Amino acid sequence: MSSTTPLAATEPGRPVIEMVHVHKWFGSFEVLRDVDLTVRQGERIVIAGPSGSGKSTLIRCINRLEKHDSGTIKVDGIELTDNLKRIDEVRREVGMVFQQFNLFPHMTILENCMLAPIWVRKMSEADARATAMNYLERVRIPEQAMKYPGQLSGGQQQRVAIARALCMNPKIMLFDEPTSALDPEMIKEVLDVMVGLADDGMTMIVVTHEMGFARQVADRVVFMDRGDIVESADPETFFNNPQNERTRTFLAQILQH
């Protein structure tokens, strides 16, 4: 079921993502079942759930990497349809960080970050470089600018991926299991960057298993299971007093260690 009650401590802004009655099928398998979700400006949402629950598909529908089959999705007031111009507009305002980093291996770190600002936002090379260096400093690896992705560790690559997305000055950042592919000792450096981003007021939707991060940063934790949004609550309520049976089962499994 859905929940649109705003529970953030600070007063959130207007809705920037509105998903209403969204369904999606892969063949005959329904991966998103009547999903309703509203995200307001400045909100930090963590989506948790077992694998196959549809969490990744949900956020990939927001920037049209997946097409939803019915229902409406509006991002910053723009409705996502087959209209290519609208899709481009949305993608410019939504940044995404992938589980597998997906840095461009044949370009330097700096070139990775400058590519989209130059060719999509039509910045000059000098401006793009300044922006890129700015964000590389923000994620604390400015000295790696001239290296290639293959020469960096996983944690460093993911931080670059975050910087690359930020160079487009997006209004919303989507994270698809950003630390799942990292060795344990590198998870913290990436989470620190994400916490910093949250503190600066970025609207974020994070699909993750890192419950510590959820407790620390999230305004709302959303639990998905088999295509449904089962429960949605602030972290306090979610972890200490989950309402739904399935949430309780999931928490019991995931919080063992």
Partner 1 sequence: MWPFDRALLNWSNPALRAVIYQALALIAVITLFAYFISTAHQNLQRLHITTGFDFLGNTAGFGIIQTLVPYTEESSYGRAFLVGLVNTLVVAGVGIFFATLLGFIIGIARLSTNWLIATLATIYVETLRNTPVLLQLFFWYFAILRPLPTPAQSLEPLPGVFLNNRGIVMPLPILQPSALVFFGALALALVFAYGLHRWALARRLATGQDFPSWAVGVAAILLLPGLVWIIWGAPLHLAFAEQGNFDLKGGLRLLPEFVALTLGLSLYTAAFIAEIVRAGILSVSKGQSEAAYALGLKPGQTLRFVVIPQSMRLIIPPLTSQLLNLTKNSSLAVAIGYPDLVAVFAGTVLNQTGQAIEVITITMAVYLVLSLVTSALMNIYNARAALRER
Q: Which positions touch partner 1 (CB under 8 A)?
A: 63, 65, 88, 91-92, 94-96, 98, 100, 102-106, 115-116, 118-127, 147-148, 150-152, 161, 164-165, 168
Least Å from the CB of residue 101 to partner 1: 8
Query: Residues 201, 219: contact at Cβ < 8 Å?
Result: no
Report the residue number, 34 or 111, with the smaller CB distance to partner 1: 111
Report the residue number, 175 or 223, with the smaller CB distance to partner 1: 175
Least Å from the CB of residue 173 to partner 1: 11
Q: CA dist 52 to 45, 89, 129, 132, Å?
A: 19, 29, 40, 35
Three-class SS of residue 108? coil
Q: How many CA atoms lie within 13 A of 13 on its CB side?
A: 12
**63: number of Cβ within 10 Å:** 21
Least Å from the CB of residue 205 to partner 1: 13
Least Å from the CB of residue 193 to partner 1: 18
Q: Which residue has the tokens 């948790």?
A: 48
Q: Is 8 exposed, middle or buried (0-12, 13-18, 19+ CB in 10 A)?
A: middle
Measured in whole angstroms, the distance separating CA 231 from the mean position of its chain's CA atoms is: 19
Least Å from the CB of residue 239 to partner 1: 31
Report the residue number, 19 or 161, with the smaller CB distance to partner 1: 161
Q: Is 107 exposed, middle or buried (0-12, 13-18, 19+ CB in 10 A)?
A: middle
Report the residue number, 127 or 192, with the smaller CB distance to partner 1: 127
Report the residue number, 113 or 230, with the smaller CB distance to partner 1: 113
- Supply the angle between the helices 154-166 and 184-199 in degrees, to the nearest 10: 20
Report residue 88 as tokens: 């481009």
Least Å from the CB of residue 214 to partner 1: 23
Report the residue number, 109 or 221, with the smaller CB distance to partner 1: 109
Report the residue number, 93 or 192, with the smaller CB distance to partner 1: 93
Least Å from the CB of residue 147 to partner 1: 8
Residue 94: φ, ψ to 5°: -115, 125
Q: Is 126 exposed, middle or buried (0-12, 13-18, 19+ CB in 10 A)?
A: exposed
